[in-house]
Structure 1
Amino acid sequence: MNLTRRQFFSLTTGAGVALACRGFSNAQTGAAAVADLETIKTRCARIIREYDRQGIHRTATDVDSRSAKWLAKLVRENGAQPRLESFVINRIDLMENYLHIGDRRIEGVPMFDGGFTDPKGIRGRLGKIGSDAEIGLIEAPPNAATDFNDVFIQARRNSKHKAIVILTLGGADGIAIINAPYFLEPFAQPALQVGREHREFLQKAAEKNAEIEIIAEVKRKSVTAFNVTAEITGTDKSLRPVGVITPRSGWWEIASERGGGLCAWLETMRAIAKTKPRRTFYFAASSGHELGHVGLENYLELRKDLAKDAHVWLHFGANIGSRFGASRNLRASSEELEKLAARALTENGVAPDRLLPRNVMPNGEAKNLYKRGGKFISLIGGNALFHLPQDRFPDAVDLDVIARVCAAFSRLAVDL
Structure 2
Amino acid sequence: MFKHAKHLYGFGGSGGNMEDSAQTDIQGWDAIDDHRTGTAGDRQTSEWLIAQARAAGLVAQQEGFGLSRWILESCTVRHADVVADGVPMFDGGTTGAQGVSGRLSLLEGEAAPDSATIGLGSFGNAAGTANRALADARKAGSHRALVAVSNMDPRVTGLALNNADRFRTPFGPPVLQVATEHERWLRGAAARAEPVTLTAHVGFETATGTNVVCPLPGREPDLAPLAVLTPKSAWWVCTAERGGGIAVWLALLRHFDANRPRRDVLFVATSGHELGHLGLDHFLTTNARRDAHAWMHLGANFAAMGSRIRLQASDADLLGTARSALAAAAVSVATTTPLGERPGGEARNIHDLGGRYVSLLGTNPWFHHPDDRWPVTVDLDRTRRIIDAARVIASALV
TM-score by length of 1: 0.86
Answer yes or no: is 1:286 the counterpart of 2:267.
no
Answer yes or no: is 1:159 the counterpart of 2:137.
no
Aligned to 1:412: 393
Answer yes or no: is 1:403 the counterpart of 2:381.
no
Deviation at 1:164, TM superposition (A): 0.5
Answer yes or no: is 1:96 the counterpart of 2:74.
yes
Is the 8 Å Cα contact of residues 150 and 159 (structure 2) preserved in structure 1?
Answer: yes
What is the CA deviation profile of residues 211-237 of structure 1, one whole-angstrom value per residue up to 9, with x for unaligned ones?
000111111011111001110122223
What is the CA deviation profile of residues 97-151 of structure 1, one whole-angstrom value per residue up to 9, with x for unaligned ones?
111011101111100001111110011100022542510111110699xxxx765
**Alpha carbons of 1:102 and 1:69: their partners in 2 closer, same or farther (altered >3 Å)?**
same
Is the 8 Å Cα contact of residues 242 and 279 (structure 1) preserved in structure 2?
Answer: yes
Is the 8 Å Cα contact of residues 173 and 196 (structure 1) preserved in structure 2?
Answer: yes
The CA RMSD over aligned residues, in Å, is: 1.9
Is the 8 Å Cα contact of residues 137 and 143 (structure 2) preserved in structure 1?
Answer: no
Structure 2: distance between partners of 1:94 and 1:162:
20
The DSSP-based 3-state class of the residue aligned with 1:138 is strand
The DSSP-based 3-state class of the residue aligned with 1:284 is strand
Is the 8 Å Cα contact of residues 321 and 399 (structure 1) preserved in structure 2?
Answer: yes
Is the 8 Å Cα contact of residues 312 and 375 (structure 1) preserved in structure 2?
Answer: yes
Structure 1: distance between partners of 2:44 and 2:33:
10
Deviation at 1:377, TM superposition (A): 0.4
The DSSP-based 3-state class of the residue aligned with 2:17 is helix
Deviation at 1:329, TM superposition (A): 0.4
Among all aligned residue pairs of Structure 1 and Structure 2, give the percentage whose two residues are the same amino acid.
Answer: 36
Structure 1: distance between partners of 2:62 and 2:126:
29
**Which residue among 322, 334, 337 is the counterpart of 1:341?**
322
The DSSP-based 3-state class of the residue aligned with 2:64 is strand
Q: State how many pairs are aligned.
A: 374
Aligned to 2:7: none
Aligned to 1:218: 202
Aligned to 1:60: 38
**Alpha carbons of 1:408 and 1:250: their partners in 2 closer, same or farther (altered >3 Å)?**
same
Structure 2: distance between partners of 1:384 and 1:393:
14
Aligned to 2:118: 135
Deviation at 1:251, TM superposition (A): 0.7
What is the CA deviation profile of residues 285-339 of structure 1, one whole-angstrom value per residue up to 9, with x for unaligned ones?
00000000000110111125x54x422100000012101x411100101111101
Aligned to 1:78: 56
Answer yes or no: is 1:206 the counterpart of 2:184.
no
The DSSP-based 3-state class of the residue aligned with 1:108 is strand
Aligned to 1:260: 244
Aligned to 1:8: none
Higher mean alpha-carbon deviation, 195-204 vs 164-173, is at 195-204
* Higher RCO (CA-CA < 8 Å; seq separation 6+): 1
The DSSP-based 3-state class of the residue aligned with 1:415 is helix
Structure 2: distance between partners of 1:222 and 1:272:
37
Q: Where in structure 1 are there 5+ consecutive unaligned residues?
A: 1-34
TM-score by length of 2: 0.90
Is the 8 Å Cα contact of residues 297 and 357 (structure 2) preserved in structure 1?
Answer: yes
